[in-house]
Amino acid sequence: MNQQHQDERTRIHEAMDRLLAGEATVSNGSLTVKALAEDAGVHRMALLKRHVDLKNEFYGRVRSETTQVPESEKRLRQTVTKLKKTVSNQKTEIDDLRHQVTLLAMASAVLVDGQGPSLVPDPSPTDTPDNVIPFRPPTR
């Protein structure tokens, strides 16, 4: 490990301690990787690529030393809740659509075949107004 790498790790550890104590110097004090990187004076990608163990250690300490849940976890939980609700709504909608398809298929079969039970009694030819054209001729 070179000296620059070791210096970064030391700064990250110091920033971690400051953030958890609520004494942020540069960042807004939120318990996120972004705030940790800002306070440590390193690029955020350094935490995500070179110092993944420190990032995991930070989130572990956030869970164990504070009552706060990391912001990223809060956002993920909210997203999961929204997605579960969306899936539930879509399942209900799909069930309703399947039921409608069944009803429409039965209605289509009755109209096409003309052999199903009549839902409306056929009017007698004298009851039909002059401007009404039946779909099919009466079958009497």
Residue 124 or 44, more confident: 44
Q: Is 0.75 topped by the overall pTM?
A: no
3-state DSSP assignment of residue 10: helix
Query: How many whole angstroms separate alpha carbon 46 and alpha carbon 91?
Result: 43
The residue type found at 40 is A
C-alpha distances (whole Å) from 99 to each of 68, 85, 91, 94 are: 46, 21, 12, 9
Q: Is the pLDDT of residue 27 over 80?
A: yes
pLDDT band at 115 (very low <50, low <70, confident <90, very high): low
pLDDT at 8 over 80: yes
Helix pair 33-40, 52-65: axis angle to 10 deg: 110
Tens digits of residue pLDDT in 65-113:
877 777 777 889 999 999 999 999 999 999 999 999 999 998 888 888 7
Six-digit token string for 20: 């958890």
Residues in contact with 135: Cβ distance below 8 Å, sequence separation at least 6, in sequence order:
111
